Amino acid sequence: MEWTVNELAERAGITDRTLRHYHRIGLLPPDRIGSNGYRYYGPAAVARLQRILLLRDTGMGLAEIAAVLDAPAQPTSEVAALRSHLAQLTAERDAVDRRIAAVEHTLTMREQGLEPRMDVMLQGFNDDYESEVVERWGRDAFDASNQWWHEKSLRAQREWKQRTEALVARWRELHEAGHEPDAPAAREHAAVHLRWFAEIPGTPTHAGDAENSRAMVLGMADIYESDPAFHVTFGTAAAARFAAEALRRALDTGSARSLSEDDAVD
């Protein structure tokens, strides 16, 4: 049994233009072209079209669909492609969910006649560092911290940011006062900084995971030292390097004990 373009398009619920496009890009060639120039599709082409339409409904691109269908081990390749596509869609959904939460929060503030700061409300807690956080500590860590942030009231967000600004400003004060990274004042502030880490859900320090907490703190120290954005945050590159070294010294002297949420700074 064979179907023409119009017949197959009508049965499949698509346009004849779509079928012609699939032929043109090599995704679904007809079984034969008659002397009259008509395209004819047999059962194998119909089965392939069915799979194309199923994969297209998932949002998969035509080039990716072609790669899946033309792979030697088609069932395995299709499953792998679908898993990969599902992971991508899930990540996109999570990103949209975070933005919806931010907009809902902003809308609430507007309805109460308040003026939210755009950098506080429209960005998540660590959106600027999403790729870095996900690469080092995983998607769950990033999502947990963002959920925690967006569940805070506007007042709580502002208070937390003020405390954070004071935390990094203190590092610059200690550096400019001539303290060494292992001086008592620096060790004391390093302990405060570690308790600050423990406040943030998604971090090993928050979970009380001593081994991974150490790795996280060392990783953050490296970022403070090397990332120009953090040089601005700390006021100077030298202050950022001072904080990084003080945190490393704190780990070496055993100050980075396993912290739980109960240890968070008031």
Q: What is the CATH number of the domain that holds 57?
A: 1.10.1660.10
In a domain, 223, yes or no: yes
In a domain, 20, yes or no: yes
DSSP 135-162: HHH-HHHHHHHHHHHHTS-HHHHHHHHH
First to last CA, the chain: 77
Q: Identify whether residues 158 and 254 lie together within a single domain.
A: yes
CB contact at 8 A, 173 and 192? no
Domain range spanning residue 212? 153-263
Query: Where a domain ends, among 18, 50, 70?
Result: 70
How many domains would you assign to the chain? Answer: 2
In a domain, 8, yes or no: yes
In a domain, 120, yes or no: no
In a domain, 95, yes or no: no
Q: What is the pLDDT along the chain (266 residues), one digit of tens a residue?
A: 888 999 898 888 889 999 999 999 999 999 999 888 889 999 888 888 988 888 887 778 888 888 888 876 655 666 777 777 787 777 777 767 766 766 676 676 667 665 544 343 334 445 555 666 667 667 777 777 777 877 777 678 788 888 888 999 999 999 999 999 999 999 999 999 999 988 888 777 787 777 778 888 888 899 888 888 788 888 889 999 999 999 999 988 754 443 333 343 33
How far apart are the C-alpha atoms of 122 and 103, rounded to whole Å? 7
Q: Identify whether residues 66 and 158 lie together within a single domain.
A: no
Query: Where are the alpha helices (H) located in 151-203, listed in sequence order?
Result: 154-176, 184-198
Q: Identify whether residues 257 and 160 lie together within a single domain.
A: yes
Give the pLDDT score at 264.
Answer: 38
How far apart are the C-alpha atoms of 231 and 207, rounded to whole Å? 28
Query: Where a domain ends, among 21, 43, 70?
Result: 70
In a domain, 30, yes or no: yes
Within 8 A by CB and 6+ apart from 94, the residues are 139, 143
How far apart are the C-alpha atoms of 233 and 220, rounded to whole Å? 13
How far apart are the C-alpha atoms of 3 and 13, rounded to whole Å? 14
Give the pLDDT confidence of 176-218 residue by residue, as tens digits.
999 999 999 999 999 999 999 888 887 777 877 777 788 888 8
Query: Where a domain ends, among 20, 43, 70?
Result: 70
In a domain, 245, yes or no: yes
